[in-house]
Amino acid sequence: MIEIASQFGGRGYLIDIGVFIFSFFLISSLINAKKWRLIFSLFTALFITLQLISLYSTQSFIGYQFYTHSNIRSISSMLSLFTPYIIEIVLFSLTLIYLNYYSIYIINKVSSIIISKTEKRDFIRKVITITVVCLSFTAVYMKGRFTDDTKSLLTLFYKNTENFKEVLNSNKIADYVTPDQIKATAGKNIIVISIESLERSFLSQKHASLTPNLNRLKKEWSYYDIEQNVGSGWTSGSLYTYLTGFPAFFGKYSYAIFENAYDSQISSISHVLKKANYKTIYMNGNTNHSGVIDMLDTFNFSKVIDVKSIKKTGNESEYGIRDKDLFELAKDQIEKQENSNSPYALFISTTDTHFPDGFYDKRMESVISKKNSNFEFMVAAVDYMIEDFITHLQKNNLLQNTTIYIFPDHLKMGDPSLFKNTGNRGLYLITNADNNLNPIPSEKQYQIDLPNMILNGAEIKHNLKFLTDYISGDKDKYLRENINNITAINTTGFSRRNSRKFIIPKISKHYNKYKKDTLRYIAHAGGTIDEYTYTNSLEALNLSYSKGFRIFELDILKTKDGKYVAAHDWKKWKSMTNYKGKTPVNSGDFIDYAIHEKYTPLDMKRINEWFIKHPDAILVTDKINEPKLFAKEFIDPNRLIMELFTPQAVKEGINTGILSSMPSQNVLHNMDYEEIIKLGIKHIAVSRFFIAANKELLKKLKEKNIKVYLYHINMDGGVVDSGMDENYVTKYELDYAYGMYADKWSFE
């Protein structure tokens, strides 16, 4: 029983949950109307279930940390981890609903036995019930666990009317150095290894057999105890904190704040590194969670490597690149950077020891013996990977001018029973930095101290001050008492498209020239027909051609039997054709189903026939990432532009000899300007949202006659049909690009 309780935050938390369940049961028994009793039962079952999920994952009731992960992107990216528990969760919720709905009958039965039959029996039952409920809720409140944990949600309702400078002044940090004021000179190269959940307790004597290599480094290198601070107890929160020195409180915005951000007044170590001419590279299995990719964009990382930017090997986990492969990719990156003779900072974020059970990698069985659990096996495996990585650097003399920092991203979530008799739980920093990174040993170091420690350990000279530099005394107490102030700093520190002051743009003086140029407009998915978009149909091609389009984009998928066909995705195709079976379908079935019951679907035979009849037409592909194979199927590679999604595919396209191998926006994270020029890239596809933060790059590309095409037309901050249509983009945004993917356009 004690072990079960520890999985949900301890006995006290489970008692609170029991009180809630019992109280809701009693309240439900007071509701006579069946409809309202059912609604109440559904609501309370959801409340209890979510609280238990929060207790299991964060060891606390629902608070801001839980809120930050309650979005579609985060849930979908990590859903596979919790799949084994879904049945138990559903059964538990249904049981709660059943008990609460029938509580009135159960309580009436019990009261008829306990309370003698009298006219006032019903009244007495209600008085007793209300009294017990009030006393129960009072007991929960007095214990403080629920109220303390829930308190962080108050930041969601915090409204700040000040601008960033006013917020800094009101918090007595008026001399804060913003990115444009940073001065920095290069020191050593930097390698940061942020290890998922591998907290200090794993270095204890109890778990020493799992972490022999980290324990050896702890003795040979410099070691510092680091405490987890409020607002940084999850992976993306930890990342934000060790980059900026601020806990990750963003109020109601959560990580959506980065989705629309185009400028940051909050300084990060990446700004310092950029000022000192470092190349900054971030590596993780999958950055498409909790706003990580958007955060890295906002902080101007030079390159991002994850599952979307490399060719798949078949070894990927449900999440993305496995840690074993991530470290191998890191070795390659370091060799490339060493050969460039420029300073670099490589940030590696592991994943395979993620709560609750990790991502088991069978390949590691050759070097790691069987452990008590899959999670412990992966702890030992990651420890081995780190040792192998460090040894590789040492053997190749790559540590002479490089400082390495190894630390956990946060405490392990979920069941804490592993850490019984391991001492106080916390984090740590292991580094080969020569200088002392904690000049005051008696002062506790927290995650907010990591940015200073990283820069100082690498001997980078800079003028940046972090939040910790303004705190005197108990840092933990300061952070807890200033959550709203930190939220104000974080939320005013980013300029966002949907919140900045609107400045009326000027119509381009080239507008009349742009709108008549047929090579600037790509018929998106064949173009609109009868107000339908994304049909990828023969009729859409014909109509767009008659209107003057000469470049045509088609989304290309592979059927079950390996044939290329034109469709945006199988889900959309099913809705357009009313197909009821499983997808992908065979090519024969694909051809048999008309689009919206009247438009002709396109396979390669029909695509080639159409382009033979229209010799001045150019095909642009989307979705497919196989240039060599597709080029063999298309009638004329000299009229083929392929939007591609990994650096490897872009290079393959160039070597295949098609008209243009066009990198998509995510590939730009892995290519610098010099590499784009060196490869001879002719076209690039980016979102129109890319413009705001990358005007200088777009200007340089234009000077080199590299044609940039914009997508996300008619969208603004996630709002579809926003008025930011083809005409708007032509008037106000084509000065920064060459053309666009257009659903419709008139060249008259």
pLDDT along the chain (748 residues), means of 10: 54 84 89 91 90 75 68 52 70 89 85 69 81 86 79 61 83 93 96 97 96 97 95 91 93 70 89 96 89 88 88 86 96 90 95 90 96 95 98 92 96 82 94 85 91 96 96 92 88 71 72 95 96 95 97 97 96 93 95 96 98 98 96 97 94 96 87 89 92 86 96 62 76 94 93
Question: Quick one: which H or E segment has residue 692?
Answer: none
Which pLDDT score, from 0 to 100, does residue 71 have?
A: 54
- For the chain, the structural domain boundaries read 2-156, 186-496, 511-742
- Name the E strands within 590-644: 618-622, 640-644
Helix ranges (DSSP H) in 291-350: 292-298, 323-340
- Rounded to whole angstroms, the Cα distance separating 158 from 155 reads 5
Closest CA to 738 of 513, 437, 505: 513
- Rounded to whole angstroms, the Cα distance separating 558 from 405 reads 44
Which pLDDT score, from 0 to 100, does residue 2 have?
A: 44
Question: Quick one: which H or E segment has residue 159?
Answer: none
In this structure, is the dihedral angle defined by the CA atoms of residues 128, 134, 136 and 139, taken in order, positive or negative? Answer: negative
Identify whether the C-beta of residue 306 lies closer than 8 Å to the C-beta of residue 320.
yes
Into which CATH architecture does domain 186-496 fall?
3-Layer(aba) Sandwich (3.40)
Q: Rg for the chain (alpha carbons), in Å?
A: 29
Which pLDDT score, from 0 to 100, does residue 80 have?
A: 55
Helix/strand/coil percentages in the chain, nearest 5: 50, 15, 40
Distance of CA 65 to the CA centre of its chain: 15
CATH of 511-742, one of 3.40.640.10, 3.20.20.190, 3.30.1300.10, 3.40.50.1000: 3.20.20.190
Question: Which neighbouring-strand residues pair with 446?
Answer: 227
Which pLDDT score, from 0 to 100, does residue 501 have?
A: 45
Tokens (6 digits) for 202? 């794993």
Buried b (16+ CB within 10 A) or exposed e, 393-425: beeeebbeebbbbbbbbbbbbbbbebbeebeee
CB atoms within 10 A of CB 712: 18
pTM: 0.64
Which pLDDT score, from 0 to 100, does residue 225 have?
A: 96
3-state secondary structure 405-425: EEEECCCCCCCCHHHCCCCCC
